[in-house]
Chains A and B, each alone.
Chain A
Amino acid sequence: MSELAGTIPGKGGFSFDLCKRNDMLASKGLKPPSFLKTGTTIVGLIFQDGVILGADTRATEGPIVADKNCEKIHYMAPNIYCCGAGTAADTEAVTDMVSSQLKLHRYHTGRESRVVTALTLLKSHLFSYQGHVSAALVLGGVDVTGPHLHTIYPHGSTDTLPFATMGSGSLAAMAIFESKYCEGLTRDEGVKLVAEAICSGIFNDLGSGSNVDICVITKGKQEYLRNYLLPNPRTYVSEKGYTFSKKTEVLFTKITPLRELVEVIEVGDAMEE
């Protein structure tokens, strides 16, 4: 029964029971697997009415592109979104967890969530795992106190900035921001600048690629522009496609029907009141 207790959903949190076995395998020369990373260019900037967040859409597994169109802008609250770089599982898990905590907090207080609440929840979780939860985040949103933009590093330190970039493409994107950013941008100017910064990351950084996602957050409204720009379309597809003249040799076939027909036989005089 004690082994069963381990498999029934418990209180949550991490379980370390396979660590000893994994260390034993590593010592015998079997290298641990590489995780899905989001090489990434993620950016955020504050414009006159709110915050604009942008991200590329490539997910890599070592040198291979595992996902050509993944979503890196995660929902935290109706007025707060978060872009994530680093290990994909960590960014997804940590943003999902804090998003649930924020929702419970909204039910408890009856008020709209504040960006600093999300910030504190994220940084205290990341700090308590001392950087082993590898998530680098750009958090942005608009609440009652105004628009806010923060960056959060995997070890738990944070910065509050008017414009920010993170990820392997951050230098390429920061070059664009540093030359073209000014305070009080309009929505269209802001979106154009963010798109340019992400494109700079896509074309110059090997860990970023594919399309541009943008999220515009203003007071009381958010617009998630998924695949705002598609600068890398697949143009080499042959229209005919592949046709296989010689069929694959099959050794054995088994067909299982899925819908079972239940026959209902009406029997008269059954159970009359």
Chain B
Amino acid sequence: IVVMLASPAVMLALLMLNILIIIHLLSVISQNSAGQFFSSGHTNNWAVLVCTSRFWFNYRHVANTLSVYRSVKRLGIPDSHIVLMLADDMACNHRNPKPATVFSHKNMELNVYGDDVEVDYRGYEVTVENFLRVLTGRLPPSTPRSKRLLSDDRSNILIYLTGHGGNGFLKFQDSEEISNVELADAFEQMWQKRRYNELLFIIDTCQGASMYERFYSPNIMALASSQVGEDSLSHQPDLAIGVHLMDRYTFYMLEFLEDIHPASKTNMNDLFKVCPKSQCVSTPGHRTDLFLRDPGSVLITDFFGSVRKVELTMDAINLTDPIKQMEEDPVNGEEQKEVYSYADQLPVSEIIHQKPKQKDWHPPDGFILGLWTLILLVFFKTYGIKHLKHIF
């Protein structure tokens, strides 16, 4: 009744208001590049993807990590900005019925291994020490560029960990653990040296939420697949391969990421809703209190993709000098040209005929000494001390 009573003048005013709002929005969208910078404050993206468990039955952890690797590459982060750590080689494992493949979906629908996977840390190189060294940057000087995390203060970093975990720790290689305090300290050191602008930490293990409890550095957002006291469950086994192929949380997260393309505007609040208890059986958790921006304004592509900011070059410098010709080179070039040849890769004859290497003599260690002392004591106890003079 109220609507019908509204006069044409009021309706016209409303229409004008709508038009004004639309014009304002359009002008906001086509703003200059200085405005474009302030939406996120980052200029490059990095990803550190770690699978911490070995053995064939932990196939799903490798498949998890490789699937996230695929998504991140698809959305634009280049290999030079991804540090991929896989603790075991499932594709070439002798128990793999389909060698050189790692599947993430049953009935072998999706091979996430492909032929352009670049694994930076493989096998036994995936240790707690190496992981912390990568994060804090304290690598020996001989480490090549591809194994380093060369982020700066304008980098957004995605860190994804998967494996077996417990309350407050994550198991590496079935032999050592990283605790949540160590992880929090590593992130604090990264913050002190301004090695990140914003950090997204995703962990898919049992009791994963315990790993982000201790963070205290700013600008970290954390997601975990299960709360303390809950186990993260795997998704589906494949009867031909014989093991479980993926974990539930990562599986549904990947389904969500399949809908993301480099220009999409989906934000983090949607990522928090991925895999509710009905699908995941465990309760995923997240932590945003350390993050400065509102999660609703954080785009998924801020972390998973790599959308570069771009400015148009308006000026050019007028160069008038002609190019200097390099005269001296042809004369010297002939003399300096060396003839290169391939070095003999495997000098077989040398290897076969070489003498065994002289090993340095080491004094016997504690165990041997202890054993001999025990034998001597028993001897003298049994036969008496008078035999001593026969020895010395």
Partners in one complex: no
